[in-house]
């Protein structure tokens, strides 16, 4: 049942594509996002990564694509990176790691939001690495991060582990760089402008979008 799948996915908030304003992120390819919503990438066991500053809509899009996957009948699990690592560490402590890993493995799509906001212990980073690496070419991952790939070493501690991970992760991957202004910030500026404020319009658009 769809409602049950959505509940199990544990999205932090209900955000869908119909409320995503593509005009606010002109360099993000709307056709590409709509194509991802059709789910072929899940069949191909490909990954999606949204990289960009806070407020650029990464969580919104991750949730929308997760919802789309649910509607296609796929199992989805949504975690923040910090939460996922915490759950992995707890499971390990309680000798339940295999059980938890199996649960994760049942999801066709694992969403890992906010990678890079917090760094992990070495053990935590290794557990996350294990989850990501295990999914390679078997199941899809959707990751959002504020960090450029060159800075992922900070999260995964160690250039070798990071290089090995990025090699797998980006092998079959749709990467979207969203480096425009924060949508929240833009909206608040627009509201102030509307009220007669003299703020300059925030129209700097530097977002880039890359595929492959």
Give which of ligand ADP, Mg ion, none residue 174 binds (C-beta under 5 to 8 Å, depending on kind): none
Q: Is 56 in the site for ligand ADP (CB under 6 A)?
A: yes
User: Which of 49/161 has CB closer to ligand ADP?
Assistant: 49
Q: Is 55 in the site for ligand ADP (CB under 6 A)?
A: yes
Q: Select from 2, 14, 21, 34 the one that contacts ligand ADP (CB under 6 A).
A: 21
Instruction: List interacting residues with Mg ion (CB under 5 A).
Output: 59
Q: Is 60 in the site for ligand ADP (CB under 6 A)?
A: yes
Q: What's the per-residue H, E or C state across the chain?
A: CHHHHHHHHCCCCCCCHHHCCHHHCCCCCHHHHHHHHCCHHHHCCCEEEEEECCCCCHHHHHHHHHHHHHHCCCCEEEEEHHHHHHHHHHHHHCCCHHHHHHHHHCCCEEEEEEECCCCCCHHHHHHHHHHHHHHCCCCEEEEEECCCHHHCHHHHCCHHHHHHHHHHHCCCEEEEEECCCCHHHHHHHHHHHHCCCCCCCCCCCCCCCCCC
User: Which of 70/161 has CB closer to ligand ADP?
Assistant: 70
Q: Is 80 in the site for ligand ADP (CB under 6 A)?
A: no
Among the residue ranges 13-21, 32-40, 83-91, 165-173, the one whose residues contact ligand ADP (CB under 6 A): 13-21
Closest approach, Cβ 40 to Mg ion, in A, equals: 25
Q: Is 152 in the site for ligand ADP (CB under 6 A)?
A: no
Residues that bind ligand ADP (CB under 6 A): 15, 19-21, 24-25, 54-60, 183-184
């Amino acid at each position: 049942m769809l409602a049950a799948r959505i509940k199990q996915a544990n999205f932090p908030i209900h955000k869908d594509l119909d409320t995503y304003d593509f005009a606010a992120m002109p360099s993000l390819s709307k056709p590409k996002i709509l194509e991802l919503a059709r789910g072929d990438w899940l069949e191909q066991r490909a990954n999606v990564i949204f990289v960009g500053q806070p407020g650029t809509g990464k969580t919104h899009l991750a949730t929308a694509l997760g919802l789309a996957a649910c509607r296609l009948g796929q199992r989805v699990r949504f975690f923040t990176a910090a939460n996922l690592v915490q759950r992995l560490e707890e499971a390990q402590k309680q000798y339940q790691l295999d059980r938890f890993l199996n649960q994760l493995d049942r999801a066709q799509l694992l969403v890992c939001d906010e990678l890079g906001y917090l760094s992990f212990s070495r053990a935590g980073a290794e557990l996350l690495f294990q989850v990501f690496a295990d999914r390679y070419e078997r199941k899809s991952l959707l990751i959002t991060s504020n960090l450029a790939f060159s800075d992922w070493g900070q999260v995964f501690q160690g250039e070798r582990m990071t290089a090995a991970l990025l090699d797998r992760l980006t092998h079959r991957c749709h990467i979207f760089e969203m480096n425009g202004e924060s949508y929240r910030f833009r909206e608040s500026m627009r509201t102030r402008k509307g009220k007669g404020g003299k703020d300059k319009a925030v129209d700097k658009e530097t977002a880039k979008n890359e595929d492959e």
